[in-house]
Amino acid sequence: MIQNLHKTLQLFANLSKEKKYDGIKAILRRYQPADVAEILENLDVVDAERGEIFKLLDRETAALVLGMLDISTINSLLNALGPRYIAEILNDMPSDDAADLLGHFPEDLRNTLLGLMQAEYADEVQELLEYDIESAGGIMTTEYVALPKDITTEKAIEILRKTAPDAETIYYVYIVDSQNRLVGVISLRELIVADPDTIIESIMHRKVISVSVDMDQEEVAEVVSKYDFLAVPVVDKDSRLVGIITVDDIIDVIYEEASEDIFRLGGSTEAVDDYIEGRISLALKSRLPWLFVTMVEGIIAGQVLRGLENELRAVVALAFFIPLLTGMGGNVGTQSATVTVRGLATGDIDESNVFSVISRELLTGILLGIINGVLVGSIAWVWQKNAVLGLIVGLAMIGNMTTAALMGALVPLTFKKVGIDPAVASAPFITASIDITGLLIYSTLASLFIGFLL
């Protein structure tokens, strides 16, 4: 980790201004690629100077660093060094990182870069680009080690020694048949421990857990997490090994998916990258749709209140409890929706326990309703010195919280069932829906008891 980023950046900027590139090169060598990426991203210099610093890195480090940079820094390097230089670096990048990076560029530039890359490797990367970016194919790398089953462990280690610099991981070795179908797996740990003359086939694991190339990245993350894997093999529909996904990419997926769920639950579809880029237009575009949904629901809620017009005119105090009812009902609904959406995302809620989840939320809603209904009803009674008003508010609270908890659980479960992302059952969506049902309950109770209120 960089102890004092600000000071480090200052040092780099000064050395760069004085063109002391030997000094910069010596300092760069002390840092990890991730740190170099952080420095390049935050360095306050012109594109040309950033390019000069990048050129000081050895090829291997440059390839790693390029895979970690944000898109604006990459564009800056592209400006400074030109597509031919960047294409050279792309040749040395793992195929998943290269595809990821190219995927961020407009089509023209992407094709230019692919054209400048080594032809065979460009084809390989091009193939990866064709997979859905949120599928196993979209995050896998083609740099894995696959061996035949009839060699000895000694021979296997010898091969690993040679392929080590190119492979994304050598800690798992996959065993394939002549059609490249996955038939076994063995860890480097097991190869090391085994007798050198052992034939791989006799010690490999035959039940290999793999993911299919079109599996959603969130599910892939669940598999890797469940089995504590360092990598998982990816197979096509004919069980042929086409790539591997390593655990570092899975960590990125888990962060990304959690952010996506959190943003959706908060009523905003903006992607994390977009947020960091900070473009207001993207913020508006991603937030407005949810506001329009809330607007329509708000107008319906207003229409419900319009039905209560006469009662409101007679007993204006009925209006004072509207924010209390909608606020607390929305609160209970958000609580239920949040735990349900998260449970679905982590796999803790599935078909086996869906009914216990619903009944648990319903019971929680009833109990919360009774506790808060009695409390709020009593407060209303004392505050407005009106027992009937207290009764109406208290009963409305019980009904409101019960339906809120039930809706909070049912809506995301229903969305999941029909193939919509459950996180669309966001706080704003749920809150506004509960406003309507809560006010319907309140209106009905108020019209029933209006005779006693006057």
Looking only at residues 214 through 243 of this chain, which bind a copy of itself when binding is defined by CB under 8 A?
223-228, 230
CB of 4 to a copy of itself, least distance (A): 12
Residue 346 is a binding residue for a copy of itself (CB under 8 A): yes
Considering only 291, 374, 424, 450, the residue that binds a copy of itself (CB under 8 A) is 291
Contact between 375 and a copy of itself per CB under 8 A: yes
Q: What's the closest the beta carbon of residue 344 comes to a copy of itself, in angstroms?
A: 12
**What tokens were used for 116?**
């400048």
Contact stretch for a copy of itself (CB under 8 A) within 11-19, 136-144, 186-194, 412-420: 186-194
Q: What is the DSSP string of 208-234?
A: ---EETTSBHHHHHHHHHHHT-SEEEE
User: End-to-end distance of the chain based on CA atoms, in angstroms?
Assistant: 71
Would you count residue 164 as binding a copy of itself (CB under 8 A)?
A: yes
Q: Please tell me whether residue 428 binds a copy of itself under the rule CB under 8 A.
A: yes
Q: Does residue 403 bind a copy of itself (CB under 8 A)?
A: no
User: 321-339: buried (b, 16+ CB within 10 Å) or exposed (e) per residue?
Assistant: bbebbbebbbbbbbbbbbb
Q: Which of 10, 14, 79, 303 binds a copy of itself (CB under 8 A)?
A: 303
DSSP state of 205: B
H-helix segments, 130-246: 136-139, 153-163, 188-193, 200-203, 217-227
Looking at 62, 200, 220, 339, which residue binds a copy of itself (CB under 8 A)? 339
Q: Which of residues 315-334 bind a copy of itself (CB under 8 A)?
A: 316-317, 319-328, 330-332, 334
Site stretch for a copy of itself (CB under 8 A), options 51-59, 174-182, 373-381, 411-419: 373-381
Tokens found for residue 267: 């009523």
Interface with a copy of itself includes 370 (CB under 8 A)? no
Q: Does 454 bind a copy of itself (CB under 8 A)?
A: no
Segment 25 to 54, residues that bind a copy of itself, using CB under 8 A: 30, 32, 34, 42
Q: What is the CA angle 333-336-341, rounded to 5? A: 120
The least CB distance from residue 447 to a copy of itself, in Å, is 15
- The Cα–Cα gap between 353 and 339 comes to 14
Hey, what are 440's tokens? 């319907």
Closer Cβ to a copy of itself, 48 or 363, answer by number: 363
271 binds a copy of itself (CB under 8 A): no
Q: Find the shortest distance in angstroms from Cβ 109 to a copy of itself.
A: 26
Kindly state the smallest distance separating residue 114's Cβ from a copy of itself, in Å: 26
Give the single-character DSSP code of 141.
B
Q: Which is nearer to a copy of itself, 110 or 360 (CB)?
A: 360
List the alpha helices (DSSP H) in 67-147: 71-92, 95-103, 107-116, 119-129, 136-139
For residue 184, the tally of other CB atoms under 10 A from its CB is: 19
Region of 80-88, 98-106, 141-149, 432-440 interacting with a copy of itself (CB under 8 A): 432-440
Q: Name the pairing type of β-strands 172-176 and 231-235.
A: unpaired
Of 305, 298, 327, nearest to 439 (Cα)?
305
Query: Can residue 418 be called a binding residue for a copy of itself (CB under 8 A)?
Result: no
Please pick, from the candidates 184, 435, 437, 443, the single residue that binds a copy of itself as defined by CB under 8 A.
Answer: 435
Whole-angstrom Cα distance, residue 389 to residue 321?
A: 10
- Please give the Cα distance from 392 to 289 (Å, whole number): 35
CB of 374 to a copy of itself, least distance (A): 12
Residue 373's alpha-carbon distances to 93, 296, 376, 390, 452, in angstroms, are 62, 28, 5, 9, 20
7 counts as binding a copy of itself under rule CB under 8 A: no
| Binding residues for a copy of itself restricted to 242-261, rule: CB under 8 A | 247-248, 250-252, 254-255, 258-259, 261
